[in-house]
Amino acid sequence: MRNKVYSSFDEAVADIPDGAVIMVPGFGPGMPKNLLAALHRQGAKALTIIANAPGTTADQGAIPLLVADGRVRKLISSFTASAHPSRPSAFSELYEAGKIDAELVPQGTLAERIRAGGAGIPAFYTPVAVGTELAQGKEHRVFNGRTYLLEHALTADYALLRAWKADTFGNLVYVGSARNYNPIMAMAARFCIAEVEEPIVEPGGLDPNQVHTSGIFVRRLVRIPPPPEGIWDEPYNMPT
Amino acid sequence: MADMASLLEKPRLDRDTLAMRAALEMPDGAVVNLGIGIPTLVSQYVPEGRQLLYHSESGVLGYGPMADPGQEDMDLINAGGQFLKWVPGMAFFHSADAFAMMRGGHVDISVLGALQVSEKGDLANWMLPERGIGNIGGAMDLAAGAKRIIVTMEHVDKKGHPKVVRECSYPLTVRGRVSLVVTDIAVLAMTPQGLLLKEVAPGWTADEVQALTEPRLLVAPDLHEITL
């Protein structure tokens, strides 16, 4: 079997090309901040980023830095604006100037589009957003007297993940609410790279009953070093 | 007709009392999702003897109180970004399951704040038009998914404009799904005939509530003061 364990984040993201579509989990916790920082150092551009909460400041991970550097072509997200209109983000300025494309998606619709993408379902009907401005231009259909709209699945070239525990096969375990988008993005992307908080164990070191993401979805693993070399989450406030 | 300026000065329920009234709507055993702001306060005032199961779209069911200062765990938050305490019986799940619980009708009540509610039960609560492309989060999923939608909000905005309106002027979150509105001066129920004024804050009359409300209200035959 090919070795999946890499010793550095830079090495693990080195071959991500320009134009890649990249999924990034995180809703507060669960964001792969070390891999994002490596991606920022690596230089890939014209990226499409799919992330529930990409953040607007550098302490929320490196997506705002990639955006500010003009390296993101499109952002697909449920939080795009800054938390306070008085503090405009790099994203909102580029968006106003027509220099970045964006798609705003209700959070649950975003999750289901990703889940569907990983499960081989090309599209599905949902009641969410019917009758709102986000429904404009979408196919509508009535089932059992209620109106639904058609949403298309999302897939990606890469997903960057953040796990609590892993074994060398790539089986992953998440902790608390850091799970969020990690398991579904792991399935919807063709190539997944995970940063791991605990030491990566040999097969047998994880309870197979407790594995959240099967190793078949994971191609590379990097252990997060202790701070300050590794980036660890601090308590902070979510966008509102 | 009451004088508008003096009505806007008249004492109303504070946020905690408003949350107490909304908490009376929670039946024992209900699965409940609480939005940010006044809805979050509801959990503090659930009548004794009733146990609720709290759902958060951050992927947590059965959470309890907020973490004590200094005891925060960065891996355990609710959807408002508040740190939660680890309590027995909690369950974690990924985001697609968190929203399947909502959309699939497994959450009994969603308590939400609002910018505006229309007399048809439409809700606008996710964006001010001047905010550009905006932040939507889970607002639409909650409003379209939960079995019952209760709105808690101030009756008028900061400029004194009614938030209960004929048609929402802000971007809509959902159409026709609000069933109860609890404000700092009134309790309004959505009925097929229109908005029914059921309760008023102490010292308020139906006419005074009407004066701060855009659509014509129906008045319940047993209209009474809010009691807790």
Contacts of B227 (CB under 8 A, 6+ apart): none
- Model pLDDT, residue B130: 60
Q: pLDDT-based confidence at A1, cuts 50/70/90? A: confident
Contacts of B79 in chain A (CB under 8 A): 27, 238
Q: Tens-digit pLDDT profile for chain B (228 aa)? A: 557 888 999 999 999 999 999 999 999 999 999 998 899 999 999 999 999 999 999 999 999 888 888 888 889 999 888 899 989 999 999 999 999 999 999 999 999 999 999 999 999 998 766 656 778 899 999 999 999 999 999 999 999 999 999 999 999 999 999 999 999 999 999 999 999 999 999 999 999 999 999 999 999 999 999 998
DSSP code string of chain A: ----EES-HHHHHTTPPTT-EEE---SSS---HHHHHHHHHH---SEEEE-S---SSGGG-SHHHHHHTT-EEEEEESB-S-SSTTS--HHHHHHHTT-SEEEE--HHHHHHHHHHHHHT--EEEE-TTTTSGGGTT--EEEETTEEEEEEE---EEEEEEEESEEBTT--EE--GGG-TTHHHHHHHEEEEEEEESSPPBPTTSS-GGG-SB-GGG--EEEEPPSTTTS------PPP-
A177 touches chain B (CB under 8 A): yes
- B130, closest residue in chain A (CA to CA): A85
- Model pLDDT, residue B131: 59
- B90, closest residue in chain A (CA to CA): A176
Q: Using CB atoms and an 8 Å cut-off, which of residues 23-52 of chain A contact chain B?
A: 27-30, 52
Cβ separation A128–B79 shorter than 8 A: no
DSSP code string of chain B: ---HHHHHHS----HHHHHHHHHTT--TT-EEEE-SSHHHHGGGGPPTT---EEEETTTEES--SBPPTT---TT-B-TTS-BB---TT-EE--HHHHHHHHHTT---EEEE--SEEETTS-EE-S--GGGTT-B-TTHHHHHHHSSEEEEEE-SB-TTS-BSEESS--SPPSBSS-EEEEEESSEEEEEETTEEEEEEE-TT--HHHHHHT-SSPPEEEEEEEE---
Residue B169 lies in a domain: yes
A5-122+154-223: in CATH 3.40.1080.10:
yes
Hey, which residues of B are catalytic here? Answer: 57
Residue-wise pLDDT tens digits, B105-129: 999 999 999 999 999 999 999 876 6
Cβ separation B99–A108 shorter than 8 A: yes
Contacts of A50 in chain B (CB under 8 A): none
- Output the average pLDDT for chain B: 94
The alpha carbon of residue A211 is apart from the nearest alpha carbon of chain B, in Å, by: 13
Domain residue ranges of chain A, discontinuous segments joined by +: 5-122+154-223
**Residues A216-234: what's their mean pLDDT?**
92
A218 and A4 Cβ atoms separated by less than 8 Å: yes
pLDDT of A186 > 70? The answer is yes
Residue B226 lies in a domain: no
Residue B227 lies in a domain: no
| Percentage of residues in chain A having pLDDT higher than 70 | 95
Q: Sign of the C-alpha dihedral, residues A152, A173, A78, B153? A: positive
CA–CA dist A2, A219 (Å, integer): 9
Q: What number is the ipTM of this complex?
A: 0.94
pLDDT of A240 > 50? The answer is no
- What number of other Cβ atoms are within 10 A of residue A101's Cβ? 13
Contacts of B102 in chain A (CB under 8 A): 108
Count up the domains in chain B and report the number.
1
pLDDT of A52 > 90? The answer is yes
Residue B60 lies in a domain: yes
Q: Residue B25: which CATH number?
A: 3.40.1080.10
Listed range (A12-16, A87-91, A220-224) with the worst mean pLDDT: A87-91
Q: Determine the structural domain holding residue B210 and report its residue range.
A: 4-220
- Output the average pLDDT for chain A: 93
Residue B92 lies in a domain: yes
- Model pLDDT, residue A161: 98
